[in-house]
Structure 1
Amino acid sequence: EVVADVVPPTSTPPSPPSPVIPSSPPYQPPCPPHPQDAEGSSLLFQHVLDTCFALTRRVEGLEHDKATQQLEIVQLKARVKKLEKINKVTSSKLRRLKKVRTSQRVESSDDMENVFNQGRIIAGC
């Protein structure tokens, strides 16, 4: 018989991972600025300032335009309200006038009928 030597597994807790400390790059002293770098930085800085100034002026212009447009909107709304009020009064006057004209037509047609009927009466005598 072949008997295999079986070694029972032992449970060992896993060991915590060892902390990995990132290595920092070696210290480098700041380089003295080269004259070309200083000139390039100065030009870049001036370009940034010019852009900032231009954007600031654009924002101010847009704010002014917005205020102007808001004022115009308020004025137009007031004008619309006034015109709607006038239109309402005018339309009510027109309705009243139409009623008067209609009633006059009714009276006129009654008169015409009366005249026509009276003509028959006179002719029939």
Structure 2
Amino acid sequence: MSWFLQALRNYAPFSGRARRKEYWYFVLFYMLIFFVLWGIDGATGTAGESKEVGLLSGIFSLAMLIPSIAVGARRLHDTGRSGWWLLLSLIPLIGGLILIFFMVQDGEPQTNTYGPDPKAA
């Protein structure tokens, strides 16, 4: 949970680097909280007619938009790539798969263009 909170504390800076741990724990807790809120939406009737995203899960997703983009960009920086690679997610299926491949790679062990190695700190 501390990695999720660390990502939230760094919600706005798109510079720097994020370890795999920080990124994947953020994704894990984001999904857990989203599905709990989605279940609450379904149980309380605040979900839309299509039952996709309800009031609580929608507000949570909107609130987490900037932190999600920021931690994703910092994770890409750790692998030596620009945060602009996140735009690959706009390509259906293939873009997401390529991004997952980038996100699971280990970061560069030395200082790169985006800053020092976060594992060394």
> What TM-score, normalized to structure 2?
0.21
